[in-house]
Chains A and B, each alone.
Chain A
Amino acid sequence: MVQGIAAAAAVPRGMLIADAWAQLGDAVAPLSNTSGRPLARTVKLLLDPLVLRPAQHPRFAGGVIGVEHVDALRRAILDAGPALAATAAWFQLVKKARRRAGVTEGHPQDLYFQRCFELAHLHGDPKTAPDAARIAAETVADVHTERGEVTVDRLRRFVTDPSRTAELTGLLRSAWERRGTPESGTANPTRIGPPAPADRQSAADGLPPHRNSTAIVGGKPLHGENVGATESPRLGPSATTDRGNAIGRPPVDRAPASGDRQPLESARAAAPNYTALTGARGIPGNDPDSNQSGSPSGTWTGSAATEVGADNPGSPLPGSFSGRGHAAPIGTARSGTPGEAIERRPADPAATSVRGLVSPDPGRGSAAVSDGRLLHPSSEPAPAPDDRLAAFLDGCAAEPDAGLWDALAADRVGSIEAAELDSPGVARGYGLTVADRPHRPELGDRASKRSLPKPFDRSIMERLFAAFTSVFQRESMGDVPSLVRGEITRSAAPWQLATEPGRVTMALGRDASAGLGEPSTPAATSAGTNPDIAAASAAPGTAAERGIAAESATTDAAWSGIAAASPTTDANARLLRRWQRESYVHRVLRLPHNEAAPADLREDVRTVRRSYLRRLWARVHGRELRGESTASDEVWDLLDGVLRSVVMDQRDRLRRSLERGVRP
């Protein structure tokens, strides 16, 4: 099929892969779907990171491949044929071993594809390996054991151990006390501009340095560069003695840049699970808003460094950034460009009114000043982080700007943008809490999937519980004590997250989701028959709340969004378009009409942005717990995947409402 279009300038990458794949024949059938194409996960977990490696071979990146590279791409796949065939054979064996062991947890393709690729390189075709069945059984046992290390039970025992309560409570209190002080920086990242080089990477986050450092995994230090990004903590016995490529694994690399836009980190280590990468839901039937269906889903089969206080468990706040760098008061920075702050977010009343401290409420500005944060008025012109957030959102789907992504983190734009969360009603408007302002969480002694509070209202126990009951990557987390201490530190940090990229992601998600669920006509504010909404509209509240409460409860206008919100960025426009498509898809699939749906489902639609931000937070939180870094070309998948996940869960709930009988 390639020959017929050889005259053209470029060929769709998918077509070339399909063509080469077909030549591999039945031997790779276990890695293929019933149309004979490589499975989506085969491409994401094997072909891209391990065979084509577009980051190293840019000619293999993108949606189309130049004709001059067609043969090279085909050859790369055909050359990998024997390894892929052996991978497929191992996968069959491992599945058999899994069945025999009675393991049902996790997604087998996620869990074993890259393991099988390793086995193929270590042992070749299992037919010629003398104890293939034993190796397969050990692989399953290995994966299974690692998963069990951190259990909810151990977490509960640790948190509720009377001999520790005082210490942990003290840590929590002091973390939150420091939070309020200007020099702690955790909650009041008033510093604008690049931090001092020494603390840029991680000290300020209360985390071990992310790169070029020692990380501790399972109690054993791992040395080497990019531990978190490229090494797996569990490459098997041979790997622990000789990490890296020497075991015969092919070098791994990062994902394709643009084009297919399903970025991968390196191999198993950081290119873990297809599901999580592409932003799908976690376990079906879980709590709608939080981790369950949305949050760090799936199985990240690798990733080493647990960032959460792993190398410094005794110190709850290792290096909260204490006044180093420029302490430019955010209020000053913002008020310098009030017009801009207002104009940039016409679609987002919540954001416009509160986040810039350019408040339509004259009282709020003074409140911001009076809380003691604005200590060092800076004469320097502040950079405009907003513009850079918007610039990144404009490019992140098509051409993510890696330099800009790094700069946003280095300049702590995510932390700076978190300052607004302490203004009354803002975090509530984003769906992250029910309280007027975030408050210190409880340590907690119980947790239930069914009744998880909003993210900022969760106890320390609940935060960790949510992360490792709904996902299967406990193997990459730290041990219980360091997880708990790390979570305490995290809870007091900006966005209640520990890493700057995670915070930047939240700020990006907040801006990219502006206008979701908003009506196209303000007239819909009357809120019809929904007492909750009527009450919300009537209640005095912040502008943020009013903005959200003004969303339609009564008409499909809630779906359209677009008429009300002129998109601020390309990413924003893309999310709004996904949301708008959903209305049409509902009609085609004959799902309940929004205006008639039961109140709770209508509310889902109306408050979709809150669900979105909650789920994004849960995903980012999960990534932090697993020590996964987020690369610039993964951000859009995360942002888009979260909305898809929210939307698909809404559909599932609508379907269930049909099954049980729809009653208003």
Chain B
Amino acid sequence: MTRFPIERSGDLIRIGSRPPHPERTALVEARGALLLWDVLDRSPHPAAEIHDLALAADWLWEVYGPYLTYGFELGVTSFTTEEASPVLDAARALAHLHWAEAWWPASHETGVPALAPGLLRAETAWRTSAVEHLLDDVEAVERALTGIDLAALTTLAGHPILGAEARALAASVEGLAEDHGITLEHEPQRVQSDWALAAGGSESGDLVLASGTDAVDWALMPQGLADAAAEATWTATMRAGTLTLAVTLPAAPDARDLPLTARIAGLDLPLSLDGDTFTGDIEAPQGFMMLPAADRTLQVFAPGFALPAPSDPEAADRRAAILAFAAERLADPAASLTERAARP
């Protein structure tokens, strides 16, 4: 049973409230409303922001049961529902896949493997089709199908336990594609790189003068670059008479080779993927060593994605909770095929 406050402000009706952070938010953009699940909250029912009740009334009953609409008319300020329906489940599953695409915390350090992107896309398309009748985007299914590579499912098709499910998904997606006039790819899957643990550390023979470690704000970079649990490390080294500043950041499993930038003490270091670590170094002014420790904090961001920002002191706790949630999903038989297939 879920109990929600109902609040009206202007043209907006809120059922419950937005999850506290984007990184905890699983979203479905429905016709006339946003549906928002907090992934750390186990309630099956989402919060909703209804911006067009006339449109949303058509499907709201599938999510909250048939009485909510009357509640609006009566001006109630809270609402309780036990509604369970396949459509609610499907919407939640879709929202979860959207969340996973954006925020899945792949991490060597905590043993959270990367999700297979091709599989994730195929499953998302399939879930999208289950709730297409309530989505805002009238071409959501076509959009989700576009660019899917069914070869991503062939590896899994031979899996002893998940194989049947993978084959069924492939068949379903193929049928969907035909219904929507989309041609799917069947390219051979890119060979995934072997996972190896991050090497890190400074080269021997150099004199390490100072070093430090800072948390990384994962909202400042796309999903799947940095290890979700790792911190970035800077090292100031005297090497052949030059002060060199090096930054290392452990990469996520199957990390994409996209540029990152580390900013420390006003210096920007481009980082690039080297094995399982994003690294970069730069010659530092001698004055670097004189700076107070507070001025030597490290921020890592993806250029073109976000501007550097100081990290939120509460971010570490939130991140730990999400990592724990992901680990739990990997062991959950009710989790998505994509998550179960990633299980080591």
Contacts and interface: CB of A to CB of B under 8 A. Distances in A.
Interface of A: 1, 4-5, 8, 11-15, 18, 33-40, 43, 63-64, 95, 99, 104-109, 258-261, 274-275, 278-281, 284, 397-398, 573-574, 577, 581, 585, 587-590, 592-593, 595-598, 641, 644, 648, 652, 657-658, 661-664
7 contacts: A33-B133, A35-B87, A35-B130, A40-B132, A108-B178, A596-B305, A597-B304
B79 interface: no
A662 B178 contact: no
Contacts of A40: 132-133, 135, 138
Contacts of A657: 304
Interface string B134-145: 011111001100
A644 B139 CA distance: 11
Interface string B56-70: 011111100011011
Given A35-B131, A40-B133, A585 B27 contact: yes
A498 B211 CA distance: 70
Contacts of A99: 178
A64 B66 contact: no
B133 A261 contact: no
B54 A284 contact: no
B181 interface: yes
A590 B137 contact: no
Given A14-B57, A95-B178, A105-B181, 4 more contacts: A8-B70, A14-B62, A37-B133, A281-B139
B102 A64 contact: no
A250 B339 CA distance: 49
Nearest to B73: A9
B11 interface: yes
A35 B60 contact: no
B305 A658 contact: yes
> Shortest 5 CB-CB distances between A and B: which pairs?
A662-B304, A14-B58, A590-B102, A278-B138, A280-B139
A590 B103 contact: yes
A14 to B, nearest CB: 4
Contacts of B303: 596, 662-664
A657 B86 CA distance: 35
Contacts of A109: 179-180
A577 B51 contact: yes
Interface centre among A40, A106, A109, A574 (most CB of B within 10 A): A40
B178 A275 contact: no
Given A34-B126, A588-B27, A596-B305, A15 B66 contact: yes
Nearest to A38: B133
B113 to A, nearest CB: 19
B306 A63 contact: no
Given A596-B303, A596-B306, A12 B57 contact: yes
Contacts of A260: 55, 58
A597 B62 CA distance: 38
B90 A12 contact: no
Kindly state the interface size class of chain B when it binds its partner. 35 or more
A95 B22 contact: no
B143 A648 contact: yes
Contacts, number: 167
B306 A39 contact: no
Contact of B302 (A43, A281, A662): A662
Contacts of B25: 588
Contact of A577 (B11, B27, B139, B183): B11
A261 B54 contact: yes
B199 to A, nearest CB: 23
A51 to B, nearest CB: 16
Nearest to A274: B138
B239 to A, nearest CB: 29
A581 B51 contact: yes
B304 A592 contact: yes
Given A40-B138, A592-B305, A593-B307, A14 B59 contact: yes
A108 B177 CA distance: 10
Contact of A34 (B60, B129, B137): B129
B52 to A, nearest CB: 8
Contact of A590 (B62, B86, B138, B219): B219
Nearest to A662: B304
B36 to A, nearest CB: 8
Interface centre among A106, A284, A574 (most CB of B within 10 A): A284
Contact of A398 (B51, B54, B70): B54
A597 B301 CA distance: 12
Contact of A593 (B27, B87, B178, B306): B306
A34 B126 CA distance: 9
A5 B66 contact: yes
A658 B142 CA distance: 21
Nearest to A580: B51
Nearest to A280: B139
A148 B253 CA distance: 49
A648 B144 CA distance: 12
B58 A63 contact: yes
A238 B61 CA distance: 44
Contacts of A589: 27, 98, 101-102
Interface centre among A107, A581, A596 (most CB of B within 10 A): A596
A104 B183 contact: yes
Interface centre among A63, A64, A284, A652 (most CB of B within 10 A): A63
Given A35-B87, A664-B304, A106 B66 contact: no
Nearest to B98: A589
B304 A590 contact: no
B304 A596 contact: yes
Contacts of A596: 301, 303-307
A14 B31 CA distance: 12
Contacts of B259: 661-663
B237 interface: no
Nearest to A259: B54
Given A33-B129, A280-B138, A590-B222, A108 B179 contact: yes
Contacts of A661: 256-259, 304
B133 A107 contact: no
A581 B34 contact: yes
A589 B136 CA distance: 16
